[in-house]
Amino acid sequence: MDPFINYTAFPAMLYEAIDQNDEGFTIIAARVTYDLLIPEDGRARLKLSPTQSPLCKGDEHYGDPSKSSVMCESDLAPYKPGTDIVINATAYAPGDKPAPFFGAAVQIGEQTKTVRVNGPRVWRNGLTGWSLEPPKSIASLDLRYEYASGGLYEVDGKVIASPANPVGMGWYPPEYLRQCKKTTLPAPQIESADKPVSSIGEIVPPEGFGFIGRGWQGRIEYAGTMDEAWQKERHPLLPRDFRFDYWRGAHPALQLPHPKPLTEIPVALRNLVPASDVPNQAVIFDIPVETVFIFTTTDKGLGVTKDLLLDTVLIDMAARKVFCTYRVALSEELNPVETQLRYITVDDRKAQQEKVAAMNPDPASHEFIPLPPSLMTSVKKEKRHG
C-alpha cells in the first residue's frame, strides 16, 4: 500500500478493495463534519465543525444489530454509483399539537420524499378479518424503520421475517396469524403518504429517511448470486453479477446522481423540528460540494489529480450535524508511490486558480501547485479566452 499523506483537517483513510472482475483498486475516503445552525425562521446554514468526526468504520445500530435499524452505515465502502441522502430525525406534529396522523417531508433539489406518521394503532380481528383501527393522537415520533411495516417472528421453532424490513412492526405472516389467539395486534406507524398500508400480511417497502438494511429486499439483490456454485468456485470473492448499487444505503427515493463539483445541494425539511424551535417547522439550507481532491505520484514520476466525489450525506437533526463523505477510487494499474489528500476552501478557489495559471506554465518556476480537474477546467478556459 502506497504512503498516504492527509494535508486536510478532515479524517480520511486509504484502503484497498477488489471488484467482481477480481480487479484491485485503491480507495480514499474523507469525512467532512458541519454544525447545522437553525435560527427561528428556519433559514439554516452550515459551518465547518471545529471538531471533525472520524469516519464511521462499521455499521452503528440504534440497539441490538439483529433487532434495530442502522443509525450510521460504515464509510468504508469501495464505491457508490450515486449519492445517498440520509436523515436521522424525529417527526413533529404541526404546531407541536398531538394529532392522529401528520406528514413529514424532505426535498433535495427537485426530489421530494414524504411519509405519513400515525399515532399508536392496532389491527383488529373481526367478522371480515383483520382491519385497521383509527390511530391515537401523538405529538412526535422518531423516524426509524422499527415503526415502519415489517417484523420478525418465531413460529414452531421457525424464524419468519419480512424480507423488506425484519426490524419493523405491524406485518404478520399467515403462519403467525393461524396460531395467534389475540384479537388486536400493533400496526405500523410510519407509511407511505401515497400508498398507506392496507393489509396485515402485505409485504411493503419500509418508509422513512434512514439507512436501508444491507440484507433487506430492494438492496440485497445487488449483492449478486451467492449459490452453491459461487460457494465452491469463488468464495470469498464477489459474485460475477455483483453490482456496486449494493453499497447505496439510502432509501431509494433519496438516492441521487453525484452532485457536480463547485455546486451546492439545496435541502428543505418539513416537520423535522418542533414548532418551539422553528414556528413554521420548515428548514432550508444548502450543502456545499467541497473541493477535496488527491494528488498522486506514480512510479513513472507522473502527477495525477482527481476530485473526490460526494457520495454520502448524513443529516442528524437531533445533533444538529451534517456529515459528508467524499470518495475516489484508483486502479491498481496506476502504481502510485504516494497519495496526498488536499483541500481548497471556497474562498481560496479563485486565488489558487490564478496562481496555477501564472506559475505552472512558467519553465523558470520550480514550484508546482496541483489542482483538481474541477478547477483546472476553469483555468484552461481563462487561458483560452485570455
Record the cell numbers describing residue 254, joined without a space. 433519496
Cβ burial of 117 (10 Å; 0-12, 13-18, 19+) is buried
> Counting every residue, how long is the chain?
386
Distance of CA 246 to the CA centre of its chain: 12
Alpha carbon distance 56, 208 (integer Å): 21
Alpha carbon distance 2, 15 (integer Å): 10
Alpha carbon distance 104, 191 (integer Å): 11
* CA dihedral sign of residues 84, 89, 95, 100: positive
Which pLDDT score is estimated for 383? 37
Record the cell numbers describing residue 294, joined without a space. 488527491
Digit-by-digit pLDDT tens for the chain (386 residues) are 568 999 999 999 999 999 999 999 999 999 999 999 999 999 999 999 999 999 999 999 999 998 999 999 999 999 999 999 999 999 999 999 999 999 999 999 999 999 999 999 999 999 889 999 999 999 999 999 999 999 999 999 999 999 999 999 999 999 999 999 999 999 999 999 999 999 999 999 999 999 999 999 999 999 999 999 999 999 999 999 999 999 999 999 999 999 999 999 999 999 999 999 999 999 999 999 999 999 998 888 788 899 999 999 999 999 999 999 999 999 887 888 899 999 999 988 888 888 877 765 555 545 667 889 999 765 444 333 22
Residue-wise burial string across 213-237, b where 16 or more C-beta atoms lie within 10 A, e elsewhere = bbebbebeeebbeeeeebeeebeee
Alpha carbon distance 295, 297 (integer Å): 7
Alpha carbon distance 68, 187 (integer Å): 17
Record the cell numbers describing residue 139, joined without a space. 405529538
Residue pair 27/14 in contact by the 8 Å Cβ criterion: yes
Alpha carbon distance 117, 141 (integer Å): 8
Terminal-residue alpha carbon distance, the chain: 42
Alpha carbon distance 281, 144 (integer Å): 20
- With vertex at residue 191, the alpha carbon angle to CA 75 and CA 124, rounded to the nearest 5 degrees, is 135
Nearest CA-CA partner of 66 in 247, 251, 214: 214
Alpha carbon distance 161, 99 (integer Å): 31
Record the cell numbers describing residue 50, joined without a space. 471545529
Alpha carbon distance 154, 367 (integer Å): 68
Which amino acid type is present at position 218? G
